Amino acid sequence: MTETQRAVAMVWLGRGVPVIPCSRTDKGPMVPGFGRDATAEQLAPFSDPETVWEWWSGRFKRAHVGILTGRSVDSGSAGRGLLVIDLDVRKEGTNLPQDYDYAFSGVDVLERMATEAGEAWPDTYSVITPSGGVHLYFQQPENGPLIGCATGAGPTAPHLGPLVDVRGVGGLVIAAGSYSAAQGLPYRRMSDASSRPQPLPEWLLERLRPAAAPAPARRPAPVLVLPTASRADRYAAAALSGAADDVADAPEGERNRSLFAAARRLGELHDTAPGVLDESVVREQLLAAALRSGQSEREALRTIRSGWERGLSGRGAGAA
């Protein structure tokens, strides 16, 4: 076991990632000095090959190999290292918000986020934990501030949602190859041997970083429909105005879903009043409403397009 754990530690060190001995019972760190505000001097032992070799050859020879997230070996306290998304299994008796009550684990929660963003499951270095959870390893972003740690749901980034923890600056995870004394199972790599942590997908990075305060979004001029217009045109204009108001007023957690539903409904109505529900007009109105609600332009445009296309493909589906 000593040779195996030491080999794991040295492999990650060779990849530029600092390591730390951790308890085999509670996974707690066994050496201090690695926290969020640690200096380069304090962090130095975790990236020193001689120190690491000695730890797993003597005093900590049976310890878990902990991987320090957030910083790399080469650049010390200012470096960019790993960010790990920790997807936990739901414990019996755990109550979740109604929107997430279906979830068995954080995998279900992240999968829903990806689907709502119109994106595929992220392909990156992955580990399955002894409890059945999953660790997804990513590179810290190249530009902007490093991402820190967060546990479960919360009102601000980098919180992602229930059963999903974020391990960035000041955090750690247990490496694949470590063996849990408590559960009698190892941490196992799920991806193939050549897999390495990948850059964060843009849609996930948007959720992990605090949104900049948006500039006040100007509401576009309402669609004008003359009293002499057809009943269908007047109805379509009212539907468009109501949909924009619903999107702008949607509460946090429901904004993306509300936007998708509005775009789909207007797509379904398109044939009844094509002069009013022109695609560019619908996009302009719904985008302005989405920006006022706090959504990002890129994600909002993607959601509008997806809902609109879904509505167009489903129009008339209920006709006999």
SS3 labels along 258-288: HHHHHHHHHHHHHHHCCCCCCHHHHHHHHHH
pLDDT in tens, 96-111: 888 889 999 999 999 9
Domain assignment of residue 213, yes or no: no
pLDDT in tens, 231-253: 888 889 999 999 999 999 988 77
Domain count across the chain:
2
If you average pLDDT over each of 1-10, 28-37, 46-55, 72-81, which comes out highest?
A: 46-55
Q: Please indicate, yes or no, whether residues 267 and 138 belong to a single structural domain of this protein.
A: no
- Flag whether pLDDT at 75 surpasses 60: no
For residue 314, what is the enclosing H or E element? helix 297-314
Q: Could you tell me if 270 and 314 are in contact, meaning their C-beta atoms sit under 8 angstroms apart?
A: no
**pLDDT tens digits along 191-232:** 998 999 999 999 999 999 876 655 555 566 666 565 667 888
Question: Taking 70 as the threshold, does the pLDDT of residue 149 lie above it?
Answer: yes
Q: Which residues pair with 137 in a beta bridge?
A: 84
- Domain membership of residue 221 (yes or no) is no
What is the model's pLDDT at position 80?
A: 78
Question: Phi and psi at residue 199, in whole multiples of 5°?
Answer: -60, 150
Instruction: Say yes or no: 107 and 139 in one domain.
Output: yes
Q: Are strands 19-22 and 64-68 parallel, antiparallel or unpaired?
A: antiparallel
Virtual CA dihedral for 159, 160, 163, 169, nearest 10 degrees? -50
Q: Is the pLDDT of residue 62 over 60?
A: yes
Residues 201, 260: one domain? Answer: no
Q: Chain-wide mean pLDDT for the chain? A: 88
Residues 128 and 260 in one domain: no
Over residues 287-298, the pLDDT tens digits come to 999 998 888 888
Q: Provide the residue range defining the domain that includes 277.
A: 231-314
224 is a domain residue: no
Determine the pLDDT at residue 265: 93
Q: Name the domain boundary from 141, 174, 208.
A: 208
Q: How much is the pLDDT for 136? A: 98
Euclidean distance between CA atoms 90 and 264, whole angstroms: 33
Percentage of residues in the chain with pLDDT exceeding 70? 88
User: What pLDDT, on a 0 to 100 scale, did the predictor assign at position 295?
Assistant: 87
Mean pLDDT of 309-320: 66
Does residue 82 surpass a pLDDT of 50?
yes
Question: How many CB atoms lie under 10 A from the CB of residue 237?
Answer: 19
pLDDT, position 213: 53
Task: Taking the CA atoms of 276, 280, 284 and 287 in sequence, report the sign of the dihedral they define.
Answer: positive
Same domain, 236 and 202: no
199: three-class secondary structure by DSSP:
strand
* Structure-token pair, residue 271: 């044939």
| CB-count exposure of residue 103 (10 Å: 0-12, 13-18, 19+) | buried
State the average pLDDT over residues 2-12: 89
Query: In terms of domains, do 46 and 127 share one?
Result: yes
pLDDT of residue 31: 94
User: Sorting pLDDT into bands at 50, 70 and 90, what band is 315?
Assistant: low
Q: Which of 61-70, 125-134, 168-177, 219-228 has the lowest mean pLDDT?
A: 219-228
Q: Residue 166 is encoded by which pair of tokens?
A: 């974020």
Instruction: Enumerate residues 6+ apart whose C-beta is below 8 A from 167.
Output: 69, 83, 84, 85, 86, 149, 173
Q: Looking at the structure, do residues 177 and 240 belong to the same domain, yes or no?
A: no
The verdict on 41 and 161 lying in the same domain is: yes
Predicted confidence band of residue 317 (pLDDT cuts 50, 70, 90): very low
- Same-domain pairing of 160 and 281: no
Which pLDDT belongs to residue 320?
A: 32
**Mean pLDDT, residues 8-33:** 93
Residue 217 lies inside a defined structural domain of this protein:
no
As a whole number of angstroms, the distance between CA 48 and CA 55 comes to 11
